[in-house]
Structure 1
């Protein structure tokens, strides 16, 4: 379970996250949705123990992030918006490195790597240097490395970026399987149709604040809209701006 209460994060004089509160239950996929610059990625980095909060309290799987960020990293699998990998290594070398850091027994590590590599179809890239691989393949490596230690909590920031349709479907099914095992998942995506089908609840973050939260159906009813995309645009005050831009483009072309 994840509990966030009054979370604040400052960068100098800029307040990126402004006292947000939400929770993610065991066996739940929580969608954290927001436009670029809303504080979404900052929040997810705090949940993963990557950066400390400036205020408030965050508890992940019973561990206070401020007091013990190292223990938080032990129970969390985190995929950042842009893959952060050792690009001079091959995927095999990188997985072995992650396994050694995580303390995964060699035989167990080999089995998990084999299963996930086959699932995401990257067998032919295992001996190549990561730096020369495509963005999509790097994203798959990032996803695999986040799952190797069988984490209790998954923090996935735009994890679908760069994935082909087959791999995106496989990741979706994996997440639903993790949910059935009682894991907590925080999932952000700009593909709102995907969030609509996979998330149990959604929090919309805008200008560093949670402006709406609930199931997709609850948000649709609240905003009086038919789709999550329209809900999102309405709540983030983007509907009129989008309409004006589309109108200008039609006139220009």
Structure 2
């Protein structure tokens, strides 16, 4: 008998399927993400991580299976699911001709907040992300790190119970990255759940409490970081599970200067 979803989990996925033409992107994937966890999804390019997150967050309808958010089926009531989730947009998905303050107020009001509440929360987030000096500058003129921070602030303004972040530290400088990590760790400490997709094993091993290794649309291993690593370095364990590592090919002309 199929295992029923865990209604106490932050996210419970059962048999999720998605096909694009002849390509099976997600192939019967099942996973439970506990409430209050900092959960890492790792896998090679094309493993199905982003497709899975898009189906879980109501952005992409699955071909089969189910995703349950805090006990409620996502696709039975997509709007209800979206109210408790904060999805960090990619820089190309935001209105970057707005100022940082305008963008946050817009995101808050889009979530149904009164303008005064959206303004108050926008100010709080700008201070928390050290963006107060840039609040009246167009987001198009932000640095990569500043843009990542304003994108995360957009996902947090409605105080979601679950944050879903796809490669949040990509192209971010070390100082901005450290600030983002501090805010996320504090959010988890208050009972929030963070789901992060990343290729950086060292970051996942350091920050996450749990991890799932995904390859070819299925879960290869899942559990606490210690359980999945099984006494090894997480990156070595990852390569062991997904394969693909090979001896460097000998290139005769690539000789480091020897003639």
Shared fold (TM-score greater than 0.5)?
yes
- Computed over aligned residues only, the root mean square deviation of the Cα atoms, in angstroms, reads 2.1
Match of 2:165 in 1: 156
Q: Does 1:183 align with 2:192?
A: yes
Match of 2:239 among 228, 233, 243: 233
Match of 1:3 among 12, 26, 31: 12
The answer (yes or no) to whether the contact 1:202–1:214 under 8 Å persists in 2 is yes
1:195 deviation in Å? Answer: 0.6
1:134 deviation in Å? Answer: 2.9
TM-score by length of 2: 0.87
Q: Deviations over 1:158-215 (max 9, x none)?
A: 1112322222222222222222222222111122111102211111011111111122
**Alpha-carbon distance between aligned partners in 1 of 2:141 and 2:60, rounded to the nearest angstrom:** 29
Change (3 A) 1:249 1:42: farther
Match of 1:51 among 60, 64, 72: 60
List structure 1 runs of 4+ shifted beyond 3 angstroms.
80-83, 105-108, 247-252
1:104 deviation in Å? Answer: 2.4
**Alpha-carbon distance between aligned partners in 2 of 1:139 and 1:163, rounded to the nearest angstrom:** 7
Structure with greater Cα Rg: 2
**Alpha-carbon distance between aligned partners in 1 of 2:101 and 2:191, rounded to the nearest angstrom:** 29
1:83 deviation in Å? Answer: 4.6
- Count of residue pairs brought into register by the alignment: 247
Structure 2 segments unaligned to the other structure (5+ residues) = 1-9
TM-score by length of 1: 0.89
Q: Which has the higher helix share?
A: 1
Change (3 A) 1:98 1:20: same
Match of 1:174 in 2: 183
1:115 deviation in Å? Answer: 2.5
Alignment of 1:1-253 (within 5 A): 1-80=10-89, 82-221=91-230, 225=232, 227-240=233-246, 243-244=247-248, 248=251, 251-253=254-256
1:81 deviation in Å? Answer: 5.1
Secondary structure of 1:131's aligned partner: helix
Structure 1 segments unaligned to the other structure (5+ residues) = none
